[in-house]
């Protein structure tokens, strides 16, 4: 990452909050955690921005957001000055014997103040909303519990294993931490008419060892808490899936589908963003790994209402009766690529599962399911230091 982005970001923060005190991890009197909330980003994202590991896009968006906060401060000061001038004007007019003139002047001052306040509210409602990412859409729902000690120095019980426990819960202890979606993937959405597609955009995952699940041995079961952001896209030409995008004889996608990028095709329009929360169980059995996911809520945002109405798209039906059946997928077990858990590496290690998507409420018409691959990449590992177990130590 260009060092200039990091330096510019820090300078902007100091302009807004005050000098960075590295001993207290504050900018002025404001903590990292509070600044992250102001910018509507997660604590982990803020850490990346501060220490130079964020992407260029993250820096650009965050610098813009700080600029917005500075603009808001300036507008607030102008508003206070205007109101003070208005009060002074009213005071002067009160000394005048011309009550009609006084009333007219006061109304004029109030009107100007209302216009300014209206402009300020418009800035808050539209400028800030467009610039900032939604707090819900940018932060893991369990971030407070998993990442709390980042921003606070009060008592905190981490959901991760203690250092004294990691050897007892090996190999699972090596997997604890933050994971992300390795690659985006897309799926056709079975509906009354062709042309709807599901695009998996991101996954923010917190993975921890199950302490009390001993079915497959101590340290062999993990819970993965997945916050997913996906999208629904529409082919406005309603092109049938087969034969252009799916080969019914081989049950595989065509090259045209694999290379399809919705954002770059004029006939494709984004319908909505889908936010989902999953709890997955990951079992490490000897030299194999299994994953089973279960949904825990889903909702849509950024709905293109004109598309929904024009093409008669029932988003509630899709959420409740179609997309919810994504959990009925059959994901194959994978060979354990990390028989030695010490080989797990941040930004490199991936768990990738091949799955088939089938549903009950709609007939796919292909005598099987639609294939897709879902992979998780290790972003931040909690513990990685001379774990002593290996595949031969796994109980089952």
Query: 3-state secondary structure string, the chain?
Result: CCHHHHHHHHHHHHHHHCCEECCCCEECCEEHHHHHHHCCCCHHHHHHHHCCCCCHHHHHHHHHHHHHHHHHHHHHHHHHHHHHHHHHHHHHHHCCCCHHHHHHHHHHHHHHHHHHHHHHHHHHHHHHHHHCCCHHHHCCCCHHHHCHHHHCCCCCCCCCCCCCCCCCCCCHHHHCEEEEECCCEEEECCCCCCCEEEEEEEEEEEEEECCCCCCCCCCCEEEEEEEEEEEEEEECCCCCCCCCCEECCCCEECHHHHCCCHHHCCCEEEEEEEEEEEEEEEEEECCEEEEEEEEEEEEEECCCHHHHHHCCCCHHHHHHHHHHHHHHCEECCEECCCCCHHHCCCCCCEEEEEEEECCCCCCCCCCCCEEEEEEEEEEEECCCCCCCCCHHHCCC
- Confidence tier at 294 by pLDDT (50, 70, 90): confident
Is residue 136 situated within a structural domain?
Answer: no
**196-254: pLDDT as tens digits:** 999 999 999 999 999 886 666 788 999 999 999 999 999 999 999 889 999 888 889 99
Residue 323 has pLDDT above 60, yes or no: yes
Residue 361 has pLDDT above 60, yes or no: no
Q: Are residues 202 and 334 part of one domain?
A: yes
**114-139: pLDDT as tens digits:** 433 444 333 333 333 333 333 344 57
Q: Residue 381: its pLDDT value, please?
A: 93
Q: Are residues 207 and 339 part of one domain?
A: yes
What's the Cα-to-Cα distance from 325 to each of 145, 293, 294, 318, 359, rounded to whole Å?
Answer: 29, 11, 10, 10, 5
Mean pLDDT lowest among 93-97, 200-204, 302-306:
93-97
Place of tokens 């590992």: 381
Q: Residue 112: its pLDDT value, please?
A: 36
Rounded Cα gap, residues 394 and 223, in angstroms: 18
Rounded Cα gap, residues 77 and 311, in angstroms: 47
**330-339: pLDDT as tens digits:** 678 899 989 8
Domain that holds residue 234: 158-393
Q: Residue 273: its pLDDT value, please?
A: 92
- Confidence tier at 367 by pLDDT (50, 70, 90): low
Mean pLDDT lowest among 6-10, 95-99, 237-241, 363-367:
95-99
Q: Residue 392: its pLDDT value, please?
A: 59
Q: Are residues 176 and 91 part of one domain?
A: no
Is residue 151 situated within a structural domain?
Answer: no
Residue 286 has pLDDT above 60, yes or no: yes
Q: Are residues 255 and 386 part of one domain?
A: yes
- Confidence tier at 96 by pLDDT (50, 70, 90): low
Q: Residue 360: its pLDDT value, please?
A: 60
Is residue 212 situated within a structural domain?
Answer: yes
Exposed/middle/buried for residue 191 (C-beta within 10 Å: 0-12, 13-18, 19+): middle
Check whether the bond before 317 is cis (ω within 30° of 0).
Answer: no
Q: Are residues 104 and 251 part of one domain?
A: no
Q: Do 240 and 191 form a contact (C-beta atoms < 8 A)?
A: no
Q: Residue 91: its pLDDT value, please?
A: 62
- Confidence tier at 365 by pLDDT (50, 70, 90): low
Mean pLDDT lowest among 11-20, 75-84, 297-306:
75-84
Q: Are residues 120 and 166 part of one domain?
A: no
Number of domains in the chain: 2
Residue with the larger pLDDT of the pair 395 and 308: 308
- Confidence tier at 24 by pLDDT (50, 70, 90): confident
Q: Are residues 119 and 37 part of one domain?
A: yes
Q: Are residues 174 and 60 part of one domain?
A: no
- Confidence tier at 261 by pLDDT (50, 70, 90): very high
Residue 89 has pLDDT above 70, yes or no: no
Q: Do 163 and 104 form a contact (C-beta atoms < 8 A)?
A: no
Is residue 150 situated within a structural domain?
Answer: no
**46-69: pLDDT as tens digits:** 888 888 888 887 888 888 888 888
Q: Are residues 112 and 177 part of one domain?
A: no
Please give the average per-residue pLDDT across 13-17, as a whole number. 88
Q: Residue 235: its pLDDT value, please?
A: 94
Is residue 10 situated within a structural domain?
Answer: yes
Q: Residue 297: its pLDDT value, please?
A: 83
Please give the average per-residue pLDDT across 169-197, as a whole number. 91
Instruction: Provide the β-strand partners of residue 331.
Output: 355
Q: Are residues 209 and 97 part of one domain?
A: no
Check whether the bond before 365 is cis (ω within 30° of 0).
Answer: no
Residue 395 has pLDDT above 60, yes or no: no
Last residue within a domain, chosen from 131, 147, 166: 131
- Confidence tier at 3 by pLDDT (50, 70, 90): low
Is residue 238 situated within a structural domain?
Answer: yes
Q: Are residues 225 and 347 part of one domain?
A: yes
| Mean pLDDT score across all residues of the chain | 79
Q: How many residues does the structure list for the chain? A: 396
Q: Do 304 and 233 form a contact (C-beta atoms < 8 A)?
A: no
Q: Residue 299: its pLDDT value, please?
A: 87
Residue with the larger pLDDT of the pair 123 and 297: 297
Q: Are residues 206 and 165 part of one domain?
A: yes
Last residue within a domain, chosen from 131, 166, 198: 131
Q: Residue 7: its pLDDT value, please?
A: 87
**376-394: pLDDT as tens digits:** 999 999 998 889 887 656 5
Is residue 143 situated within a structural domain?
Answer: no
Is residue 152 situated within a structural domain?
Answer: no
């Amino acid at each position: 990452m260009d060092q200039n982005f990091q330096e510019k970001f820090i300078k902007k923060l100091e302009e807004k909050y005050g000098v960075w005190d590295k001993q207290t991890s504050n900018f002025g009197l404001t903590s990292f955690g509070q600044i992250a909330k102001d910018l509507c980003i997660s604590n982990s994202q803020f850490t990346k921005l501060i220490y130079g590991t964020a992407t260029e896009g993250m820096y650009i968006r965050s610098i813009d957001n700080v600029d917005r906060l500075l603009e808001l401060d300036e507008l607030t000061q102008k508003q206070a000055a205007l109101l003070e001038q208005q009060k002074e004007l009213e005071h002067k007019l009160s000394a005048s014997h011309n009550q009609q003139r006084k009333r007219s002047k006061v109304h004029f001052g109030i009107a100007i103040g209302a216009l300014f306040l209206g402009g300020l509210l418009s800035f808050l409602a539209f400028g800030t909303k467009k610039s900032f990412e939604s707090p819900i859409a940018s932060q893991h729902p369990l971030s407070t519990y998993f990442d709390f000690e980042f921003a606070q120095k009060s008592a905190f019980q981490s959901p991760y294993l203690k250092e004294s426990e990691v050897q007892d819960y090996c190999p699972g202890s090596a997997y604890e931490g933050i994971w992300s979606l390795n690659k985006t993937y897309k799926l056709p959405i079975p509906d009354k008419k062709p042309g709807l597609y599901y695009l998996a955009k991101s996954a923010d995952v917190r993975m921890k060892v199950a302490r009390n699940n001993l079915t497959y041995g101590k340290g062999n079961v993990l819970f993965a808490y997945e916050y997913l952001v996906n999208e629904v896209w529409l082919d406005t030409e309603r092109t049938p899936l087969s034969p252009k995008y799916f080969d019914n004889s081989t049950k595989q996608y065509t090259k045209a589908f694999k290379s399809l990028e919705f954002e770059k095709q004029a006939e494709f329009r984004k319908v909505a963003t889908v936010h989902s929360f999953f709890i997955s169980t990951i079992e490490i059995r000897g030299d194999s790994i299994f994953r089973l996911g279960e949904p825990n809520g889903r909702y849509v945002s950024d709905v293109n209402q004109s598309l929904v109405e024009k093409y008669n798209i029932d988003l509630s039906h899709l959420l409740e009766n179609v997309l919810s059946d994504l959990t009925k997928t059959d994901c194959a077990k994978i060979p354990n690529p990390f028989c030695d858990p010490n080989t797990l590496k941040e930004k490199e290690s991936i768990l990738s599962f091949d799955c088939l998507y089938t549903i009950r409420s709609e007939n796919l018409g292909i005598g099987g399911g639609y294939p897709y691959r879902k992979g998780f990449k290790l972003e931040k590992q909690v513990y990685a230091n001379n774990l002593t177990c290996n595949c031969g130590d796994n109980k089952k």
